[in-house]
């Protein structure tokens, strides 16, 4: 059972420092990371996890253990989620109140971050498919590239396009075409993680941004998406429309900016188109490409 985080008082200057740090970001993952960074010198731990009460967001950093203590993050008695700290040895009676106080201190900043996420998502939503729109891609991709650089983690992009979409519109009409795009977005959403970001880039073209994912991992996901889409024809009244997608994959190179990363994924997509459609292509950064690669 999770423990209610409502007591415990660490050193005032340390607590003030962590409160000030929490005011520097509205990114949920960054908040959890800051929490871990500030707690680590006082209460050493191997991992941290936050799970939103709705299940929409889970952030895990470091190691995870099933028997770790859990603390409810509450705001005016309403649960926002559950915070867990993990390590090999149990936390002692001195450390436990500190962790409980941290969970309480996190409540207001976390509530603000969750509200900000919801507001941004509403403003950035494509009305037809329900995924993020193109206007939001630039800022979100720049943020993800910055986080990948800061923490030295991989980042990849998948760009996908519905094959022969114009023929679908011309043959069946735009209502069916819209249904195809909605069905595609739903299908892709079942293949990706909650932390992955999907955007409608324009027309029948979509972009997926994959944090902490190498180009090899992104290529595997792209193939899974390609297969899932091909196996799910769209049905509209008495019409069945088989659809396929072409996909391009690129991983963040050492010298890439967001525009270069996206541009390489676009090149990979058009390679898939030009080589017959319904396939996945990968184009690596020249910096990251093995010496014996083409």
Q: Does residue 211 lie in a domain region?
A: yes
Per-residue pLDDT at 66: 62
The structure tokens listed for 190 are 């079942």
pTM over 0.75: no
Per-residue pLDDT at 8: 41
CA distances from 235 to 31, 55, 177, 260, 276 (A): 43, 31, 11, 38, 25
End-to-end CA distance of the chain: 56
The range of the structural domain enclosing residue 263 comes to: 132-282
Same domain (yes/no): 173, 278 = yes
| Residue at which a domain ends, from 123, 146, 173 | 123
The structure tokens listed for 254 are 């050492």
CA distances from 200 to 23, 137, 151, 179, 277 (A): 32, 9, 28, 14, 19
Q: Does residue 147 lie in a domain region?
A: yes
The structure tokens listed for 235 are 């049905």
Same domain (yes/no): 138, 274 = yes
Q: Does residue 288 lie in a domain region?
A: no
CATH of the domain at 106: 3.30.450.40
Same domain (yes/no): 72, 213 = no
Same domain (yes/no): 102, 156 = no
Q: Does residue 291 lie in a domain region?
A: no
Secondary structure letter of residue 2 according to DSSP: P
pLDDT in 10s for each residue of the chain, 294 residues: 344 443 344 567 888 889 999 999 999 999 999 999 999 999 999 999 999 988 888 898 988 776 677 888 887 778 899 999 999 888 999 899 889 999 999 999 999 999 988 887 778 889 999 999 998 899 899 999 999 998 899 999 999 999 999 999 999 999 999 999 999 999 999 999 988 999 999 999 999 999 999 999 999 999 999 999 999 999 887 889 999 999 999 999 999 999 999 999 999 999 999 999 999 999 998 655 544 444
Per-residue pLDDT at 67: 64
Q: Does residue 292 lie in a domain region?
A: no
Per-residue pLDDT at 82: 92
**Angle value at C-alpha 188, between 187 and 192, nearest 5 degrees:** 130
Per-residue pLDDT at 10: 57
| Residue at which a domain ends, from 123, 149, 165 | 123
Report, as residue numbers or ranges, the catalytic residues.
204
Q: Does residue 274 lie in a domain region?
A: yes
In the chain, the number of structural domains is 2
Per-residue pLDDT at 4: 43
Q: What is the 3-state secondary structure (H, E, C) of 72-126?
A: EEEECCEEEEEEEEECCCCCCCCHHHHHHHHHHHHHHHHHHHHHHHHHHHHHCEC
Same domain (yes/no): 169, 221 = yes
The answer to whether residues 217 and 209 touch, using CB atoms and an 8 Å cutoff, is: no
Phi-psi region of 76 (alpha: psi -120 to 50; beta: other; left: phi over 0): left
Per-residue pLDDT at 285: 81
Collect all residues with Cβ–Cβ distance below 8 Å to 182 and sequence separation of at least 6: 128, 129, 130
CATH of the domain at 189: 3.30.70.270
Q: Does residue 267 lie in a domain region?
A: yes
Per-residue pLDDT at 292: 44
Q: Does residue 163 lie in a domain region?
A: yes
Same domain (yes/no): 118, 199 = no
Same domain (yes/no): 271, 150 = yes
């Amino acid at each position: 059972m999770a423990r209610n985080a409502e007591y415990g008082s660490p050193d005032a200057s340390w607590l003030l420092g962590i409160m000030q740090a929490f005011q520097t970001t509205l990114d949920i993952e960054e908040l959890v990371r800051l929490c871990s960074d500030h707690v680590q010198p006082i209460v050493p731990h191997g991992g941290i996890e936050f799970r939103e009460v709705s299940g929409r967001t889970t952030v895990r950093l470091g190691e995870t253990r099933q028997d770790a203590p859990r603390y409810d993050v509450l705001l005016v008695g309403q649960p926002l989620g559950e915070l867990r700290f993990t390590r090999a040895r149990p936390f002692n009676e001195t450390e436990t109140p500190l962790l409980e106080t941290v969970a309480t201190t996190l409540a207001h900043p976390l509530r603000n971050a969750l509200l900000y996420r919801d507001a941004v998502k509403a403003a950035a939503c494509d009305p037809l498919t329900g995924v993020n729109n193109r206007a939001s891609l630039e800022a979100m991709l720049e943020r993800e590239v910055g986080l990948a650089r800061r923490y030295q983690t991989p980042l990849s992009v998948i760009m996908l396009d519905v094959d022969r979409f114009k023929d679908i519109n011309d043959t069946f009409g735009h209502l069916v075409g819209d249904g195809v795009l909605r069905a595609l977005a739903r299908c892709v959403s079942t293949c990706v993680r909650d932390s992955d970001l999907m955007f409608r880039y324009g027309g029948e073209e979509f972009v997926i941004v994959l944090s902490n994912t190498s180009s090899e991992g992104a290529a595997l996901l792209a193939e899974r998406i390609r297969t899932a889409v091909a196996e799910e024809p769209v049905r509209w009244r008495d019409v069945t429309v088989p659809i396929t997608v072409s996909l391009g994959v690129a991983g963040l190179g050492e010298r890439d900016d967001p525009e270069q990363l996206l541009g390489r994924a676009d090149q990979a997509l058009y390679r898939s188109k030009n080589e017959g459609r319904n396939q996945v292509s990968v184009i690596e950064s020249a910096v990251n490409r093995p010496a014996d690669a083409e």
